[in-house]
Amino acid sequence: MYQTQRDFHQNRRQRRAPYAPFAPLAPLTSHAQQFGALVLLLTLLCTACSAPGVAQPKTIAHEPIASGPVVYTALGASDAVGVGTTQPDNQGYVALIDHHLPRGSHYINLGISGIHLHEALQKELPIAIATDPRLVTIWLVANDFVARVPYDNYMNDLTTLLQRLHTQTQASIYIANLPDLTLLPAISNGIARGGLAKAEIEKEIQQWNAQIAVIAKKYDATLVDLYQANSQLTAHPEYISSDGFHPSAAGYTQLAGYFWTAIQKNN
């Protein structure tokens, strides 16, 4: 049994903590100190915003999106909830993807504000499998990156997530990676105030994205590359909400378009 998307959405949205602004930083002397300070700042912002064992993969039929009704399940964090808009139930990217699906389809939005991937393995993944979806979207990476979750821990958790979805559902799986977070006002301001190493952060984003692509390919998930084309999602001011971090309504429209373009290509 599972609840409707609205039940999940309302329950998760109630847990969102208020936005906390950046505080000025003193000059830092090392990259570790610099990035640590940025993490502290972004962790405050992302309040709105180790792995189980992995069995050997087995073959399962993954069907394309049919012309008839489908079950669409979204795993994510505050962006799945629609934080940054005035009407998250209608303006978030999950609802916008649902608008493109065949008549009679329904969606279950499992997004929880502030969640990390490891926690989602317990709080979102079991429900996602139980919904028996034909379409799954995943955007569960920004909070982990910002919080400095160790690279290996995150990639192990991502392997668990995709392996279980691949072997225990018939869903077509679409996963988004990191855009260039350094272009977001909330983050670029923190970099400027603290004298942080922007190039080093960009290098780490690229490293994470490269391995996300490898794992996605291994488990037949389609990568939705938000870093490509100069990271349009974070490069355009109109796509960013007033908090300087989450997408605006226009940004969610763009994000939904990226996902839907990938879905169409596979069908």
Q: DSSP readout, 210-265?
A: HHHHHHHHHTTPEEE-SSHHHHHHHH-GGGB-TTSSSB-HHHHHHHHHHHHHHHHH
Q: How far, in Å, CA of 5 to CA of 3, rounded?
A: 7
Largest CA distance in the chain: 59
Task: Say whether pLDDT at 45 is over 80.
Answer: no
CA 204 to chain centre: 17
Q: Please give the structure tokens belonging to residue 173.
A: 């799986």
The domains of the chain, with CATH numbers, are 71-265 (3.40.50.1110)
Q: State mean pLDDT over 50-78.
A: 66
Q: What's the CA gap between 212 and 261, in Å, rounded?
A: 19
**pLDDT for res 13:** 39
Kindly tell me the sign of the dihedral angle through the C-alpha atoms of 76, 166, 267, 206.
positive
Instruction: Note the Cα 29 to chain centre separation in Å.
Output: 32
> Would you say 97 and 72 are in contact if contact means Cβ atoms under 8 Å apart?
yes
Q: Quick one: pLDDT at residue 93?
A: 97
Higher pLDDT, 87 or 30: 87
Mean pLDDT value across the chain: 81
Q: Are 78 and 47 in contact (CB under 8 A)?
A: no
Of 7-11, 16-20, 154-158, the poorest mean pLDDT is in 16-20
- Are the C-beta atoms of 166 and 221 separated by less than 8 Å? yes
What pLDDT sits at residue 187? 82
In a 13 Å sphere around the CA of 14, the CA atoms on its Cβ side amount to 5
Residues 187-217 have pLDDT tens digits of: 877 665 666 678 889 999 999 999 999 999 9
The DSSP annotation for 129-168 comes to HHT--SEEEEE--HHHHHTT--HHHHHHHHHHHHHHHHHH
Q: At what angle do helices 228-235 and 249-265 cross, to 10 degrees?
A: 150
CA separation for the pair 186, 172 (Å, rounded): 34
Q: Under DSSP, is residue 66 helix (H, G, I), strand (E, B) or coil?
A: coil
Q: What is the pLDDT of residue 65?
A: 64
How many helices (H) and strands (E) are present in the chain, helices listed first? Answer: 13, 5
Give pLDDT, residue 43.
46
User: 198-218 and 185-194 are packed helices; what angle lies between their axes, rounded to 10 degrees?
Assistant: 140
pLDDT (mean) for 65-76: 88
First to last CA, the chain: 29
Q: What is the pLDDT of residue 229?
A: 72
Give pLDDT tens digits for 216-259. 999 999 999 999 878 999 999 999 999 898 999 999 999 999 99
